[in-house]
Amino acid sequence: MSHVAFTIKRLKKTRIGLIAYTALGMYTGTLDHITLEKVFCPKLVQLDQFLLINEIEKIKNDEISDLNEFVTESAKLIENVSGFEIHN
């Protein structure tokens, strides 16, 4: 498979996550998610901060290490990120 075909295939499966929403007055400095998806294929997924906090608070302490393992294994973390730091 050529590099171009491989890249296109990967981009179609890509999801870009954003936490919270753009502040008022900042819309001119943001990306156009419709054009992003139309031209490059990845979907932009926005998650409200309040909903994220509510979901995080539902996680039990004994599930945190499993979650850390799952994220570390399945996410494509950049070099200087190594998963969660767990504090009790």
CA geometry: angle at 30 spanning 21 and 75, to 5°? 65
Same domain, 39 and 71: no
pLDDT for the residue numbered 52: 81
In this predicted structure, the answer to whether residue 22 has a pLDDT above a threshold of 60 is yes
Same domain, 44 and 12: yes
> Are 86 and 62 in contact, with CB atoms under 8 Å apart?
no
Same domain, 9 and 45: yes
Whole-number Cα distances in Å, 42 to 13, 26, 62, 76 = 7, 22, 34, 15
Report which of 13, 33, 19, 18 is spatially closest to residue 74, judged by C-alpha positions.
13
In this predicted structure, the answer to whether residue 61 has a pLDDT above a threshold of 70 is yes
Same domain, 9 and 41: yes
Structural domains counted in the chain: 2
Domain residues for the domain of 13 are 3-49
In this predicted structure, the answer to whether residue 88 has a pLDDT above a threshold of 50 is no
Same domain, 64 and 83: yes
**What tens digit of pLDDT does each residue of 27-51 get?**
667 777 778 788 877 887 777 888 8
pLDDT for the residue numbered 48: 81
Same domain, 9 and 31: yes
